[in-house]
Chains A and B, each alone.
Chain A
Amino acid sequence: MADEKALTESILVVGGGISGLTTAVEAAEAGRDVFIVEKRSYLGGRVAQLNQYFPKLCPPSCGLEINFRRIRQNPRIKTFTMAQVENISGEEGNFDVTIKLNPRYVNENCTACGECAAGVTTEIPNEYNYNMDKIKAVYLPHDMAYPMRYVIAPEIIGTEEATKAKEACQYDAVDLEMQPESVTLKVASVVWATGWNPYDATRMENLGYGTVPNVITNVMMERLAASDGPTGGKIVRPADGKPVESVAFVQCAGSRDENYMPFCSHICCLASLKQTTYVREQLPDAKVTIFYIDIRALGKYEEFYTKVAADENVTLIKGKVAKVEADPASGQIVVEAEDIYSGSKSQAKVDLVVLATGMEPSTATARVPADVSYDESGFVVSEKPGIYAAGCARRPLDVATSNRDATAAALKAIQSTVRR
């Protein structure tokens, strides 16, 4: 990438989730040099945190593994993890981008043997599991992490624990002297694929998240059901580990609501139907109730909905949940909605409540450092020539649609490299 031509034909992809990976792979395989900048210590984004995809119910590792292999084999792709874009200047075909690289304190020598972590006792919240458990401050982000390298949390830098970790490493992979660095890249175009964050469920005070035990969000449910999750994949009440006999799914928790996010997040209906299959498969006697405004299972997804709805242990109630309260006597949770079809209030007493929280675009809180505009919810709407949004930074999408969107973004980004 030293010569002038290579520099100006490069593409920057911001965000290493499914949209960013797809954009990068597509553009690189079409002959462009691509930089991926990822904020976290690993690639894969939200998809890496899923238990299964809908509707085929396969694990996300299959989709991700293929992309990782394509990246590994393609010398045109360069990846920066724990990195953030600080500034973009210039114009289409000739952008200067400043990237800040945060120290990982572990270099490429790492074999992920785990010796460094063995003697460490300090624990930090495990973000990968949505803070449902803790991990050591020297950690592998998750079992399938790419790159497969340990990370040392900044919290313990300067302490004995860090020194211990360094001493335990036989490969000279721990470098406690690492400092934040700044890198400047020259690129022809930028694809902004920073995805989404689960909406902060504590804002819906009447839904009990954060105040009523065993009320979790749908992304946490993915971790709860995943074999590398906090319970090893066992669906239990997270607060006390007791068995779950009944689950209520609360649809549109913060979505389609002017008070929170006015838009439909697109995936939550299918996500809850999918998670219903987790419960039903693992707990044959468990009852599931799904409270909804409308079930939006469109096109090919309708079949999945029909199949789940036919399960006699699954009840679908049309009516939005507006009250979630603890029942201290039983340790259960009472979920209340109006059952519109019967015209009476319905109270379900359940062990676990899953709030189907929606997708808040990451750009709602972390803007693109360039001149682009957003809709009222923070999705990128107008694109500056040469800067394109892809995936959930643009609108709420499922994985399959994100991939198509990302491919389209790759084409636009390539066009920017030759438009002069």
Chain B
Amino acid sequence: MADESAVQVESKAATLIEPDLNFVRELKEAGGDTLKKCFQCATCSVVCALSPDQKPYPRKEMVYSQWGLKDKLVNNVDVWLCHYCNDCSTHCPRGARPGDTLRAVRALSFRHFAFPSFMGKIVGEKKYLPIMLAIPVLILLLGIKIAGGHIPEGAVEYRDLFPLLLVDAIFVTVTFLAIGSIGFGLWNFLQGIHANAVAEGYAEDKPLAMGDYVKSLISVIPTILLHDKFKLCTTNRDRYWAHILVLVGFVGLFIVTNLGFVGIYGGPLLGINTDFLAPPYSIANPIKLFALLVGIGLLGGILLVIANRLKPKDAESTISYLDWSLIVAVLVTVSTGLLTWIGRVGNLGTVAYGIYFLHLGSVFYIIAYLPYSKLAHMFYRTVAMGYAAYIDRPFGVEGVAAAPVAAPEVEPTPAAEEPAAEAEPVEEKAEAPAEVEAEAPAEPEEEKPAEEEEKKE
């Protein structure tokens, strides 16, 4: 690793610490309330199954947090390599809960990069919840008013309440706004983590090569989809199934939504017949079956997420507002999504329209607030994991104990001697490939999928 010289330079230069006390307060409010208990023993860095050998986390992030070094935290690639296993918190001798602190750092990181920035505040702080809820309700009520403003009679046909074109106009607009906003945030984030990694000494001091970066980004996608890194957790091991189900649910519904979209608009645009893709689908249609399957998967996943969070843990852990505000939205979205379908098939009249309204509202909530909600972690983490691959920063590599073989027999490798420190990472990479890889939440963009599908029916 390129950090040897940097370490030495750092240790010699006097460093002026300028604590951002406000940031410390925000971290504590965002779930890092225990961070001041840390006494820097570094147990966490060692018990973490994911932490790299060189400049491991989370010990250094804990002291940055205590010191309020905001720049080093919001631009920190390592906090995104953390998968919230919380093995660190279980073993922490002080109850400082590094896992929860890093989660809070991540929340403040994407809040920091939120564009426009006031949205980060609105979504991130509990007191603004009424505003968050009011926005979709008002916009949808306005839409209904434009469409005629009354509840349709007769067989349930959602487009009588809300014409397809209007729904799509609203949601496509919101989706593109969200994509633009998060894209802007992610771009700044990427520049930030690169600059910080250079400063910390684990990246070379030269401009980011976007072509190589994109290749790295693509290379981590399988790891993310397969959740390889999650499997290395001990304390929060049961999150594996919950998280992968939610991810697969989102991705699946995204695909379905896009198929529906192509079905409706693809024909006229492309001049071919795409009606077979257009909703509404009969129950026997494979697309419908697939949609039901992933929808139920998502429901199961989110219920597991909730169950896991409510279960007593080794390390007593807080559940942040940011977590709940997304979890509840996903639960409402997926359950109303399924009920919307039942409402149509069962012809439930006014009740069905009510459910449909709720469904549209929650979908709006998820898409519009995506760049600022917990869901943003999907994109920030992906970008960060791509960056870690780009700078060749291995994490979650099993068999650390085997690594020192390269070092002189009986020697601690205090990173003091170059040869030892140099030899180590190489060795590690050589032995690790099988287990390596990263994991993480979903993939880029889309959110909207889930629901639009139903909406169109």
Contacts and interface: CB of A to CB of B under 8 A. Distances in A.
Interface in A322-368: 322-323, 325, 327, 330, 332, 334, 336-351
Interface string B1-35: 00100010001000000000000000000000000
Contacts of A245: 410
Contacts of A287: 410-411
B143 to A, nearest CB: 54
A258 B314 CA distance: 12
B407 interface: yes
The 5 closest A-B CB pairs, nearest first, are: A342-B415, A257-B93, A322-B46, A338-B42, A348-B412
Nearest to B60: A343
19 contacts: A206-B91, A256-B39, A258-B93, A287-B411, A319-B46, A320-B43, A322-B44, A322-B45, A323-B46, A334-B401, A338-B59, A340-B42, A342-B414, A343-B56, A344-B54, A344-B55, A344-B415, A348-B413, A351-B410
Interface of B: 3, 7, 11, 39-47, 51, 53-56, 59-60, 91-95, 400-401, 403-404, 407, 409-416, 421
The contact size tier of chain A is 35 or more
Interface of A: 206, 245-246, 248, 252, 256-260, 287, 289, 293, 315, 317, 319-323, 325, 327, 330, 332, 334, 336-351
A337 B55 contact: no
A347 B410 contact: no
Given A342-B415, A344-B413, 4 more contacts: A246-B410, A252-B41, A336-B401, A345-B53
Contact of B401 (A258, A327, A350, A351): A327
B59 A334 contact: no
Contacts of A258: 92-95
A86 B414 CA distance: 53
A347 B60 contact: no
Contacts of B39: 256, 293
A342 B416 contact: yes
Contacts of A320: 41-43, 46, 93
A317 B60 contact: no
B421 A349 contact: no
Contact of A321 (B46, B60, B403): B46
B59 A340 contact: yes
B47 A322 contact: yes
Nearest to A205: B91
Contact of A256 (B47, B93, B407): B93
Given A246-B410, A340-B40, A346 B47 contact: no
A336 B409 CA distance: 14
B410 A259 contact: no
Contacts of A252: 41, 93
A319 B410 CA distance: 18
A259 B43 CA distance: 13
Contacts of B401: 323, 325, 327, 334, 336, 347
A323 B11 CA distance: 27
A327 B404 CA distance: 11
The residue among A321, A336, A339, A344 with the most chain B CB atoms within 10 A of its own CB is: A344
Contacts of A332: 410
